[in-house]
Amino acid sequence: MKDVNTISGIHTVRTMCSAKKRSIPGVQSSAYLDLYMLNKEKERLLKEAERLDLRNTVIKKRLEEINLETGKLLDTETVSESKEGKRNPSRRAFNQKNEVKKEWKKMPLNY
Protein backbone atom coordinates (compact mmCIF):
# COMPACT_ATOMS: atom_id res chain seq x y z
CA MET A 1 0.00 0.00 0.00
CA LYS A 2 1.35 3.40 -0.92
CA ASP A 3 1.76 6.06 1.69
CA VAL A 4 3.07 9.61 1.72
CA ASN A 5 6.70 8.47 1.99
CA THR A 6 6.56 6.40 -1.20
CA ILE A 7 5.18 9.18 -3.41
CA SER A 8 8.06 10.69 -5.30
CA GLY A 9 8.51 14.43 -4.91
CA ILE A 10 6.06 14.90 -2.04
CA HIS A 11 8.83 15.98 0.32
CA THR A 12 9.92 18.82 -1.96
CA VAL A 13 6.51 20.50 -2.12
CA ARG A 14 6.82 24.07 -0.98
CA THR A 15 4.12 25.65 1.12
CA MET A 16 3.15 29.30 1.17
CA CYS A 17 5.27 29.85 4.26
CA SER A 18 8.35 28.23 2.77
CA ALA A 19 7.89 30.08 -0.52
CA LYS A 20 7.78 33.42 1.39
CA LYS A 21 4.53 34.48 -0.28
CA ARG A 22 2.38 36.77 1.81
CA SER A 23 -0.81 38.67 1.18
CA ILE A 24 0.53 41.72 3.03
CA PRO A 25 3.68 43.44 1.79
CA GLY A 26 6.66 42.91 4.06
CA VAL A 27 7.90 45.57 6.43
CA GLN A 28 11.44 46.33 7.56
CA SER A 29 11.07 44.72 10.99
CA SER A 30 10.09 41.36 9.48
CA ALA A 31 13.74 40.72 8.53
CA TYR A 32 14.45 39.70 12.13
CA LEU A 33 11.51 37.32 12.08
CA ASP A 34 12.72 35.84 8.78
CA LEU A 35 16.23 35.37 10.22
CA TYR A 36 14.78 33.66 13.28
CA MET A 37 12.57 31.37 11.20
CA LEU A 38 15.43 30.46 8.86
CA ASN A 39 17.65 29.69 11.83
CA LYS A 40 14.98 27.43 13.36
CA GLU A 41 14.47 25.64 10.03
CA LYS A 42 18.23 25.14 9.71
CA GLU A 43 18.41 23.62 13.21
CA ARG A 44 15.47 21.33 12.43
CA LEU A 45 17.06 20.16 9.17
CA LEU A 46 20.40 19.50 10.86
CA LYS A 47 18.68 17.38 13.52
CA GLU A 48 16.77 15.50 10.82
CA ALA A 49 19.98 14.83 8.88
CA GLU A 50 21.58 13.46 12.05
CA ARG A 51 18.58 11.18 12.67
CA LEU A 52 18.74 9.98 9.07
CA ASP A 53 22.44 9.15 9.44
CA LEU A 54 21.73 7.14 12.59
CA ARG A 55 18.85 5.34 10.90
CA ASN A 56 21.03 4.58 7.88
CA THR A 57 23.72 3.00 10.06
CA VAL A 58 21.11 0.89 11.86
CA ILE A 59 19.71 -0.31 8.52
CA LYS A 60 23.18 -1.19 7.19
CA LYS A 61 24.00 -3.09 10.38
CA ARG A 62 20.74 -5.06 10.17
CA LEU A 63 21.37 -5.88 6.49
CA GLU A 64 24.81 -7.23 7.40
CA GLU A 65 23.26 -9.37 10.14
CA ILE A 66 20.70 -10.73 7.67
CA ASN A 67 23.43 -11.53 5.15
CA LEU A 68 25.44 -13.38 7.80
CA GLU A 69 22.38 -15.32 8.94
CA THR A 70 21.42 -16.34 5.41
CA GLY A 71 25.02 -17.36 4.73
CA LYS A 72 25.04 -19.57 7.81
CA LEU A 73 21.71 -21.15 6.86
CA LEU A 74 22.89 -21.82 3.31
CA ASP A 75 26.11 -23.36 4.64
CA THR A 76 24.19 -25.70 6.95
CA GLU A 77 21.89 -26.55 4.04
CA THR A 78 24.80 -27.51 1.78
CA VAL A 79 26.41 -29.54 4.58
CA SER A 80 23.17 -31.47 5.13
CA GLU A 81 22.88 -32.08 1.37
CA SER A 82 26.40 -33.49 1.19
CA LYS A 83 25.82 -35.75 4.22
CA GLU A 84 22.59 -37.19 2.83
CA GLY A 85 23.98 -37.60 -0.66
CA LYS A 86 20.83 -36.11 -2.15
CA ARG A 87 19.05 -32.80 -2.15
CA ASN A 88 16.99 -31.74 0.78
CA PRO A 89 13.24 -31.79 -0.08
CA SER A 90 12.61 -28.36 1.40
CA ARG A 91 15.39 -26.88 -0.73
CA ARG A 92 14.04 -28.64 -3.84
CA ALA A 93 10.55 -27.29 -3.17
CA PHE A 94 11.98 -23.80 -2.81
CA ASN A 95 13.75 -24.09 -6.19
CA GLN A 96 10.69 -25.56 -7.88
CA LYS A 97 8.59 -22.70 -6.59
CA ASN A 98 10.87 -20.24 -8.36
CA GLU A 99 11.22 -22.27 -11.56
CA VAL A 100 7.71 -23.60 -12.21
CA LYS A 101 4.87 -21.19 -12.79
CA LYS A 102 1.63 -22.32 -11.21
CA GLU A 103 -1.47 -22.63 -13.37
CA TRP A 104 -4.61 -20.73 -12.46
CA LYS A 105 -7.42 -22.81 -11.03
CA LYS A 106 -10.49 -22.35 -13.21
CA MET A 107 -14.10 -22.96 -12.34
CA PRO A 108 -17.29 -22.00 -14.17
CA LEU A 109 -19.62 -19.44 -12.67
CA ASN A 110 -23.29 -19.75 -13.48
CA TYR A 111 -25.57 -16.77 -13.01
- What pLDDT band is residue 28 in, cutting at 50, 70 and 90? low
d(CA 62, CA 89): 30
pLDDT over 80 (residue 45): yes
pTM of the model: 0.47
Q: Which of 2-6, 37-41, 97-101, 103-107 has the highest mean pLDDT?
A: 37-41
Instruction: Render pLDDT for 59-108 as a digit per residue (tens, 0 to 9).
Output: 999 999 999 999 999 888 887 777 765 555 555 555 555 566 678 888 88
Express the helix, strand and coil content of the chain in percent, nearest 5 each: 65, 0, 35
